[in-house]
A and B are shown apart, each in its own frame.
Chain A
């Protein structure tokens, strides 16, 4: 057996090889090296910490057990992301974790105000920080309403900043599929977040689509008594 590979100086590939060769510490070293970012992906894909922890654990175990199948055609980090994202998506599919909760009641109102997207730069003021945090919350709430595959693509591309080609490897699909999922996901988010509405983002150039979205408010007749006269 090779000597223990707890040394953090080893490359990811060397650690994975050491694990396959029987080093009992190599995989732990490898996984700890990347788990913060894997956690971020799992958290945003699953939508809540509890399910993210389960998904990340599933992915970690799967990677541990299938390390021998890694052929080195992609970066180890890409492979790890792929395993973890797949584990998360499996959980969502199998357990139907994707919630059908409606958007927060104030989502439309917040988007209407436009103030949420106005000034994030230099948000040192507690009030500004609160606004930033609130907008973040709304984005996550809207993200949670997307189909899981679209959400995963957006998390990897727009949140984590991975190249589309690498995300295609992670998601085991074509580059065009990733682009399509991202495009559709962004369009859905634009609707949900009120980006299409006039003044939806006064911090940027006016949008080219000035028509407001159809109202989703009730179409039923008012039950209030008729006004006199």
Chain B
């Protein structure tokens, strides 16, 4: 989508002004539609809620995913019957470490946007359904529960001070991943010596990849459960 060096006419000042005037006339001056505003408010409410397990990211509605889902219903039927959404962990391997994506809007957004041009369904689209399953409180205890706005704090507190069910968090099993909503266990050997932790990130299934300590710190990448894109990155004191 780069600019093509094609042969374009050079506009006179009058012609250019004409085009600019037409564009200005086509400006959208109406306020945001009420239904869109309400939808965004719901999403924000879900993001800011302290108890992500109660929302499961449900407010995030992907209209495009819904449209695509109509065409992919047959493919999705099996997965939808099992859990919230498929954990396309195979993509984790392909994505790589994602080490430089902390400031990348593209990487951060892809997981949210659930851009599956191949006709797959986004996690949000599935979880937006009223009947979307959400991990029970008992199940959620086995996960890290992370908030984007307080990621460092949540990671440090939950990874740095093991207590209670933290042992379950530190020894993720296929069952814990499945309960979280990830249909495929994370291939831990692909990330060794990094440690993997199932998590709920703003209420959405995710995986935390914790790098070994270095210079008194540890890097933690939060990967999306559906796209394996890096949702967030944080650095916490070495445990």
Contacts and interface: CB of A to CB of B under 8 A. Distances in A.
Interface string A170-185: 0000000000110010
Contact of B115 (A53, A62, A91, A180): A91
Nearest to A186: B19
Given A22-B150, A140-B26, A62 B33 contact: no
B70 interface: no
A126 to B, nearest CB: 18
Given A40-B28, A204-B18, A61 B12 contact: no
Contacts of B43: 57, 60-61
A56 B14 contact: no
Contacts of A27: 44, 48
A148 B2 CA distance: 9
Interface string A60-81: 1110111111000000000000
Nearest to A25: B48
A31 B32 contact: no
A141 to B, nearest CB: 10
A8 B157 CA distance: 33
B77 interface: no
B151 to A, nearest CB: 8
Interface residues of A, number: 83
Interface centre among B4, B29, B112, B150 (most CB of A within 10 A): B112
A139 B9 contact: no
Interface stretch (B78-86, B100-108, B137-145, B171-179): B100-108
Given A64-B47, A180-B3, A87 B113 contact: yes
B33 A49 contact: yes
Interface in A82-140: 82-83, 86-87, 90-97, 117, 120, 132, 135-136, 139-140
Nearest to B3: A184
Contacts of B109: 58-59, 61-62, 86-87, 90
A180 B117 CA distance: 30
A50 B108 contact: no
B192 interface: no
Interface residues of B, number: 62
A181 B3 CA distance: 7
The SS class assigned to the A binding surface is: helix
Interface stretch (B60-68, B160-168, B180-188, B207-215): B60-68
A28 to B, nearest CB: 5
Contact of B24 (A97, A159, A180): A159
A189 interface: yes
B32 A139 contact: no
Interface in B18-42: 18-20, 22-33, 36-37, 39-41
A50 B47 contact: no
Interface of B: 1-4, 8-12, 14-20, 22-33, 36-37, 39-41, 43-44, 47-48, 50, 60-64, 67, 102-103, 105-106, 108-110, 112-113, 115-117, 148-150, 202, 231-232
Given A20-B149, A94-B113, A159-B23, 15 more contacts: A39-B32, A61-B109, A66-B108, A69-B102, A87-B109, A90-B109, A135-B25, A150-B3, A190-B11, A190-B16, A195-B18, A196-B15, A204-B14, A204-B18, A209-B12
